[in-house]
Structure 1
């Protein structure tokens, strides 16, 4: 006796875009976090050291990037669950 198993629905373009965006933002945030840690280890301890150049941007990226990446991953998971649920209900 064979049972009919629903096939996985094809991966859509928006799913790929969300996956790569979340991965890219998360990697960039982690790299900026490590740059801040390395800067602190190299002797940049005062706040005046981090107020010049690109350091304000480097220090702000982990603050905003990691939550945005987390939300994008949640949206991707919810979209995937909905798509699979719809595919399972089809006769």
Structure 2
């Protein structure tokens, strides 16, 4: 008889706190960057012509910096997950 497919709750490898932190930080940074991206796109037709004052420089630069950082955080999370699962499988 075949085994039932493994569900995420059956995992022998526990999820660490750093994994959750990296996942939520990268997700938050992606969402914030995309929101800022659409705000910059919508600001031009709405009549905002001066992007040099207030929060506009930060809002303009955040997608340029935030998305690559979030991508690197996801890559780090994947590498950590692969290493952790390989160590768990080797220990069996």
**Structure 1 length normalisation: TM-score?**
0.85
Partner of 2:41: 37
Three-state SS of the structure 2 residue aligned to 1:88 is helix
Which of the pair has the greater relative contact order for Cα pairs under 8 Å at 6+ separation?
A: 1
How many pairs were matched up? 87
Partner of 1:10: 14
Alignment root-mean-square deviation, CA: 2.1
Moved over 4 A (4+): none
Q: How far 1:41 moved relative to its partner?
A: 2.2
Q: Deviation per CA, 1:56-76: give whole Å up to 9, x if none.
A: 010010010000000000000
Partner of 1:68: 69
**Structure 2 length normalisation: TM-score?**
0.84
Q: How far 1:90 moved relative to its partner?
A: 1.0
Q: Which runs of 5+ in 2 are unaligned?
A: none
